[in-house]
Amino acid sequence: MKAAIPKPTVHDLAREAGVSLATVDRVLNERPGVREKTVARVKAAVERIGYVRDTHAANLARRRQYRFAIVLPEGPNQFVDTLRSAVQEASGAQFAERALVEMIPIPSHDPHAVARTLNGLNTARLDGVAIMAPETPQVRDAVDRLKDEGLAVVALVSDLPSSARDFFVGINSFAAGRTAAVLMGRFLRGLTGHILVVTNTMQARDSIERRFGFDAVMADEFPALEVLPSIESHDDPERMRRCVREALASYGDIRGIYSMGSGNTPLLEALRGAGDLEGRVVIAHEMTPVTRQALLDGEVDAVITQNVGHLVRSALRVLRARCDGVEIFEPQERIRIDIVIRENLT
């Protein structure tokens, strides 16, 4: 409908360099069987006319289909649920973009079962995998094997730094813990007392790192507040409620509660039961229906989180880039640590 500024194509390139389409293609895709001199001529022509490859046309001609798997912990977990629906949402859009993405559940707490699932992946039918799993030697080996088989692999949410994974998509847990600590300390300006820390399990790398970051800042900047040992619920809501109640009873001066992992529902129940949720600062991780509602109700003061939509889209973009042997645009893939309070809840 409107005059278009034509972009140089391979045809223009071929003409400019005085060679055929096939040769241009060989040079562009760094295939062998072209004389040094010819290569140079084509490359010069690329610079001269400012040729940029049309990736969509290329993918079309290649009949490229990306087959990705996203490996997520199974079982009831609010955060993973939000991740799952983000994957669902994304895979619709991805389908139109020549990518098939399937979700694969893993038993979260059994390293051997996780490794078994990963090793059981049909690598011949897969181009890339995004994995959210705790770091264990078994998982590390499984990831290395996937890499050996030529797959693109990204660690999702929780890093697998000792493995051969291509990239980590997620946030720095130390920094997340530090962020929580600053808010906790500042929201409790001038007060003395104790801080309760709760989590599902301190086995998880995330929890350890968050706690580490949290403690560092608290000790450094808010010495008037003493942080108590972590309470672990081990997936047992009743245990969480009981431990929290006991802690509140034992210490008369609990000023704040830091929830490092899942289990926010029983935590909030225990706090409500304790009556005086009012004066205390509660900071939790991950935006889920529960934390969102708690934020709205004023039961939680701040949530430290990461955008699951970005997480998933980013993982998929990175996998795609790795498959194409293309550089990724780092700043776009850096997941931010979001601070959410009631007022900036979208």
Partner DNA sequence: TTGTAGGCGTTATCAC
Partner DNA sequence: GTGATAACGCCTACAA
Question: Taking the mean position of all CA atoms in its chain, how far away is CA 234?
Answer: 23
The pair phi, psi for residue 266, each rounded to 5°, is -60, -35
DSSP, collapsed to helix, strand or coil, labels residue 259 as strand
How many chain residues bind DNA (CB under 7 A)?
31
Q: Which residues pair with 83 in a beta bridge?
A: none
Site track for DNA across 18-57, x = CB under 7 A: xxxxxxxxx-xx---xxx-xx------------xxxx--x
184 touches 218 (CB < 8 A): yes
Site track for a second copy across 286-305, x = CB under 8 A: ---------------x--x-
Q: Which residues pair with 66 in a beta bridge?
A: 99
CA terminus-to-terminus distance, the chain? 38
What one-character DSSP code corresponds to residue 293? H
DSSP, collapsed to helix, strand or coil, labels residue 230 as strand
**CA atoms within 13 Å, Cβ hemisphere of 209:** 14
Host H or E run for residue 25:
helix 21-28
DSSP, collapsed to helix, strand or coil, labels residue 224 as coil
Under rule CB under 8 A, residue 49 binds a second copy: no
Question: Of these partners, DNA, a second copy, none, which one is at the site of residue 329 (CB under 5 to 8 Å by kind)?
Answer: a second copy
Under rule CB under 8 A, residue 272 binds a second copy: no
Under rule CB under 7 A, residue 88 binds DNA: no
Under rule CB under 8 A, residue 271 binds a second copy: no
Site track for DNA across 257-296, x = CB under 7 A: ----------------------------------------
Question: Of these partners, a second copy, DNA, none, which one is at the site of residue 127 (CB under 5 to 8 Å by kind)?
Answer: a second copy
Using CB under 8 A, pick the residue from 21, 22, 40, 57 that binds a second copy: 57
Question: Of these partners, DNA, a second copy, none, which one is at the site of residue 252 (CB under 5 to 8 Å by kind)?
Answer: none
Report how far residue 253's alpha carbon sits from residue 226's, in angstroms, rounded to the nearest whole number: 10
Residue 88 CB neighbours (<10 A): 12
Question: Of these partners, DNA, a second copy, none, which one is at the site of residue 317 (CB under 5 to 8 Å by kind)?
Answer: none
Under rule CB under 7 A, residue 2 binds DNA: no
Binding footprint of a second copy on the chain (CB under 8 A): 2-5, 7, 52-57, 59-60, 63-65, 67, 93, 95-98, 100, 124-127, 175-176, 178-179, 181-183, 186-191, 217, 301, 304, 307, 309, 313, 329, 331-332, 334, 336-344, 346
